[in-house]
Structure 1
């Protein structure tokens, strides 16, 4: 499924399309003709002087060292990005349940586009790390159609569980994170700024660590904060179990 939406208020063109995954090796080169359709839409937008935001569920690139898209689909998609780099403003995806980004470059190694992978409200529960629910406020410039900034709101699950187990049901646990540009020290939200950020990861561990923290929305991973506190406090297994169930104070 893929379709186009024109917004009336300030009229960027939103292309929403289904990804071309790599689950089967016998897929055609252009499943459902969606890449051809995308080229037609981008060509029309370029001709009409419109800007485009691309949206989909599964992002191009890799997820935990596995392909999201088959290489031949990714290559065709990158060709479209290079051709319509002045028309495509940004890309938005989901699926990873983490706050990630990918920078795309042209043949001269110049940054041309950024895909933003949004965390979403569904927490991630893998083997090593988790994530907290997040919703994102996106700021645009209505005159230039440029992307201006993000503001993320995080629900800290471990903190909420810990406090709720002790009778605190009144707090609003949603927390606003700093603006994206402030937190990651970005000049703006252009591809060149994100290329600069990625380059800084080479020798700026503090910046890299902050980016990783935002990936998981400051989750403690699979660590149960209550259980951890109880295990620290009590040696007796039964007391630890009672404490973890909320029947004993861990302090």
Structure 2
């Protein structure tokens, strides 16, 4: 779950409505996937007002995000260990040792979103999240763990505050041998991002991939991704995109839509895996081959 559980009816947002939606979706996930670990993320649509993630020391109920952090700390407790509660209450982020040698880090990087007006009030590392990330990765490195990072907003574009993206990139660069993959949401689109070394701009060091969107948003069929992961290294081997035809589903509203595999990333683009090196090679192919780029963009 990469965030944005609450719908895009941004004119109709309220603490009560958002709380109801988040609660219902969480309960639905618990019912439909009773034995599946779930690692939820907050999106920019969860707070009310929309996009507004206040620093944890803002306590005025009219503008504070405390209600949201308290809500999800309680709801997510069915999936997460008790020691995640402290950082969820502080800023909506946490870490879990999913299994020996494999750690998941969940960020609330909505604090870097350029429509989060609290950035005007406090443009620094809100709630010390980046420092916490660096400290957590250092401990993971010392413990010999492999790490996946989950975050709502893709970094490196104009929607994430440039200084936040820059400092995040420095952390990714420092821990390139610990971080195996980064997963994002927010855009609703199917795309990837390659990170390069800060002192060697042509050397790929990490990758991020967007999970698509079950909601249709603009000109999209509902879709989701499944990933093949190396059980020893936790590198991403492949990603499959599954969709259903929205037009067909609307013509037959009383029939459950038929989900089908749209493509395998590995097969479609001829890569050996979704490693940073392979995605770097693909990026150069896309730049040189317009028809391939149009196929990817479609």
Q: Which one of 155, 167, 170 corresponds to residue 76 of structure 1?
A: 167
Shifted more, 134-143 versus 83-92: the winner is 134-143
Equivalent residues of 2:245, 2:257 under 8 A apart: no
Q: Equivalent residue for 1:236? A: none
Q: Equivalent residue for 1:22? A: 114
Distance between the aligned counterparts of 1:95 and 1:172, measured in 2?
Answer: 24
Unaligned runs of 5+ in 1: 214-251
Distance between the aligned counterparts of 1:99 and 1:193, measured in 2?
Answer: 17
Q: Equivalent residue for 1:13? A: 103
How much does 1:203 deviate?
Answer: 2.2
Q: Equivalent residue for 1:244? A: none
Q: Which one of 147, 150, 154 corresponds to residue 52 of structure 1?
A: 147
Q: Equivalent residue for 1:144? A: 233
Distance between the aligned counterparts of 2:184 and 2:177, measured in 1?
Answer: 20
Distance between the aligned counterparts of 1:12 and 1:149, measured in 2?
Answer: 18
Q: Equivalent residue for 2:192? A: 101
1:39 maps to 2:134: yes
Shifted more, 73-82 versus 24-33: the winner is 24-33
How much does 1:189 deviate?
Answer: 1.1
Q: TM-score, normalised by structure 1?
A: 0.75
Equivalent residues of 1:98, 1:120 under 8 A apart: yes
CA RMSD of aligned residues (A): 1.7
Q: Deviations over 1:55-105 (max 9, x none)?
A: 01111122xxxx221111111001001100010001001111111111111
Q: Equivalent residue for 2:220? A: 131
Matched residue count: 200
Equivalent residues of 1:81, 1:113 under 8 A apart: yes
Q: Equivalent residue for 2:73? A: none
Q: Secondary structure at the match of 2:128?
A: helix
Q: Equivalent residue for 1:111? A: 204
How much does 1:160 deviate?
Answer: 2.5
Equivalent residues of 1:184, 1:210 under 8 A apart: no
**Structure ID, larger Rg:** 1
Q: Which runs of 4+ in 1 moved over 6 A?
A: none
**In proportion to residue count, which structure has more helix?**
2
How much does 1:118 deviate?
Answer: 1.4
Unaligned runs of 5+ in 2: 1-91
How much does 1:11 deviate?
Answer: 3.9
How much does 1:18 deviate?
Answer: 0.5
How much does 1:171 deviate?
Answer: 7.3
Shifted more, 51-60 versus 15-24: the winner is 15-24
Distance between the aligned counterparts of 1:74 and 1:207, measured in 2?
Answer: 29
1:200 maps to 2:282: no
Q: Secondary structure at the match of 2:288?
A: coil
How much does 1:159 deviate?
Answer: 2.9
Equivalent residues of 1:55, 1:92 under 8 A apart: yes
Q: Secondary structure at the match of 2:240?
A: strand
Q: Equivalent residue for 2:25? A: none
Q: Equivalent residue for 1:176? A: 261
How much does 1:147 deviate?
Answer: 1.2
Q: TM-score, normalised by structure 2?
A: 0.64
